[in-house]
Structure 1
């Protein structure tokens, strides 16, 4: 299930980084956010299990300073991401072996929003004058995130 619909996706990228994206970019965006959230949850699971807990807390998620700043920037954009599609995707993946606390579940849309802001702004770092990122730019940005998250 998608993190955002087409219209919201386009409006969000314009507000976050002045970019014009089209509906063809939506699938790769949704796949990116869903995969990176699951990756963060896998690392959070390791932290919870290392602390002998079977419930993952927000503090178990590896939220870096940069991601935290992007979460705050997302909050300032006054956009909204629903928690249900995110949880559906995470639950459809191989089991995490720990439960997500309610606080963690409620935090995931904010994390997704922060990653989305960081994603949009990364396009402007690699191609400052480009207003409409193409496949090559998407691949470059994904590679950068794969190295960092």
Structure 2
């Protein structure tokens, strides 16, 4: 009789923990894409296109080249249009950093008055990570639901 009571308590505790885990997984699956979208919206306020007018570069002591390029920046929203914006970065050879005038790069300014841009990496990377995380959490949630249904029916 005592064994039956202990099994019953253990089974109900396991079912409760399983259900709690399912709720946590579901909330996490909702949070991840919403957080990623908010992050992208915040980071893309001053993002746009830098049209290169010219670059200069200097070799560094370790065999790399530091490029300083100038150009005209226009934000995606059209709210910012700035001339003589600079962007600096390093490359392993001068061939990679000697662009033709008119080449366009994705860039971002920190503020409306800023004239030093940063190059923007493609945003598909974050969505790829979100998709992978969602797939893993979804598979875990399904496995947890199957486990819980078997636990409750057995």
- TM class by shorter chain equals under 0.3
What TM-score, normalized to structure 2? 0.23
Q: Which has the larger radius of gyration?
A: 2
> Which structure dedicates a bigger proportion of its chain to helix?
1
